[in-house]
Each structure stands twice: as C-alpha cells, then as structure tokens.
Structure 1
C-alpha cells in the first residue's frame, strides 16, 4: 500500500481524523435512520436493531483494524526453485460502496511471479478481505490489493482482476440486475509482456 495512505481509513496519512463515535452514539444514529425511513425505532421488532446493526458494521468494516503488512510478512523460500506464476482464483469477497454504503459482491483473481519466496496461499484471500472490509470503490480495491503485493512481496510481476455485482446498480437507480463490473491491473512482467497477460487470462478461464 502507498505509505502516504492511512490504512485505517483509505485517506492521506496527514488528513485530520474525525473522532470515532462510541457505541451509544452509533446506536442512536441507527435509530435516527429508522425514524427517517418512516418506522418507529421503539416498536418491539426494532428495539434491538441498533445493537445488531452496529455489531454487523463491526464485521463489515473490520478491515480498518487490520494491516496488509502483517498478513504478508511471512514468506517461504524453500519452494524447490519454483519461479512461475502463483495464482489463486475465484476468491469470494463482499465490500460496501463508499457512495451509497450498499454491498458489492464478487470474486478476485490474484497472480504473481515470485522473486524471493512465496506467501501462504490463504494469505492472499485474507489480503482481499482486509481491503474489502472497508468503504470502497472497486477500482480502489483493485489498486490496493496489487500495491500491497508489490510492496510487501516484491514479486517480478503481479496481476489482479475483480469481478463484482454492485447493489447500488441492481437494488436502486437503473436496477441493472446481474450486471458485472470487471477491473484489473498488471505490474512488472505482467504489465510489460502481453504473453504473461494472456497466460493469466487463460488460467482464470477468460481466454
């Protein structure tokens, strides 16, 4: 990740941090939204909703409390001289659009060409989760994943593709159900060599 970006809020490191509300204030905000939507936050079925919502938000946005460097810190060098593509595809993820705070859900494909060892395969899935569990755009999420791989693994090249359906398009607005948004980014050898790009697309079934 770019060192100039605060990992807790996706904002420049020198930006002023707002005070984080406490549990009581967060639950009061949920009650306000319930009332704004037209319902009664004091009725039986909604009495415990503010607590449930804040607990759910704690899960949805747990990525603000996690660090990519820690996840990618341990690598393995005894790989029998293996130096070809390492690929983990179809990694499921869910995130929340920073514009409407509604989910977008999809899968990630990550590949890299090792330089000095490899990282545990599960760590790539955890890396996706770290950045997905924040308020995001898909474009930014794609960039953050590959930047973290480059910064902390130093591969000869990396490739990331995300495919997702955005609820802000399917549940509201144009109601484009089933529309998929695809973003990808290549660095190093993948950016320089079209053959390596084609190999990546073939391995994830896009050729």
Structure 2
C-alpha cells in the first residue's frame, strides 16, 4: 500500500473513531480526546499491518537449498494479536517445527511469519493453521507443526 493510501485510510478510521467516541457519550473536542481518533487509527494500522505483508516472500527471501533432514525448531516466539470478535488483544508464544525436504530458511524468518499472521484480526486456531500452511506451501517440508 502506498503512503498516500495508508494516510487516506488512517484519516477514514480516525473519522469513524470520532463517531464511536461521540456515541459512547464523550466529547471528542475535550483536551484529552482531541488527538485520540488519530492515535487509535495509527495504532490499528500498526496492529493489523500483517494484511499488507507477504509471509511467503519473507520465507523466500532467505530460502536455501540444503540436504538437512533433522527437525528445525524455533521455540518461544512472542506473539501479539487482536481477537477478531472483540478487537481486544491477546498474546502468547508460538513454537514452530518443520522437517526440511531440500530447503531451509533463516530461523528469524519463521518468527517474522508468525508476526505477519499475528498482526491481523485473528483467532488462535486460524493463526496456527495459517503459519503451518504458509511454511508447508513455501518450503514444502516433510512435515510442519505449530503450537
């Protein structure tokens, strides 16, 4: 998304936040709330930036042909997301393992893929499935596990 599109969307989100704040019974012109709609819009764009990132491209950016056949494990990957039902935060740790079948990727890329999918409106069950399917499609390993 271009910087102009990002700014346009931020402005639209902020306008809607003004309406929400007003509907809650507050005065959006009050000192403490004047910049709140813009802050919320910017925060929501940051918290959902995963919609504008390509997790497969992240994996492909460090894809190496390798005859390694041992399980690759990346544990304790911190994640932060927004529950799609209430737009409230949830957080936790992901553990990802795969058995290569000709290709490996940088370990940091696995953590970045977790972050891309977490930075969308989510439920935990879909989050783990999306991570698994992305790794399966991109690396084509013998197996993938995400918990």
Q: 1:111 aligns with which of 97, 101, 121?
A: 97
Relative contact order higher in (CA < 8 Å, ≥ 6 apart):
2
The structural deviation recorded for 1:142 is 0.9
TM-superposition CA deviations, 1:23-60 (whole Å, max 9, x none): 33211111111122222111011101111111111110
Alignment of 1:34-49 (within 5 A): 34-49=21-36
Aligned pair count reads: 139
2:128 corresponds to 1:142: yes
Alignment of 1:1-207 (within 5 A): 22-73=9-60, 74-78=62-66, 81-161=67-147
Q: Distance in 1 between matches of 2:142 and 2:64?
A: 16
Q: CA RMSD in A?
A: 1.3
Q: Distance in 2 between matches of 1:59 and 1:23?
A: 11
The structural deviation recorded for 1:155 is 0.3
**Bigger share in helix:** 2
Q: Secondary structure at the match of 2:38?
A: helix
Name the structure 2 match of 1:189. Answer: none
Scaled by the length of structure 2, the TM-score of the pair is 0.89
The structural deviation recorded for 1:117 is 2.2
Structure 1 segments (4+ residues) deviating >4 Å: none
Structure 2: give runs of 5+ residues left out of the alignment: 1-7
Q: Secondary structure at the match of 1:106?
A: strand
TM-superposition CA deviations, 1:134-178 (whole Å, max 9, x none): 1111111111000001000000011100xxxxxxxxxxxxxxxxx
Q: Distance in 2 between matches of 1:25 and 1:45?
A: 21
Q: Secondary structure at the match of 1:42?
A: coil
Q: Distance in 2 between matches of 1:92 and 1:39?
A: 36
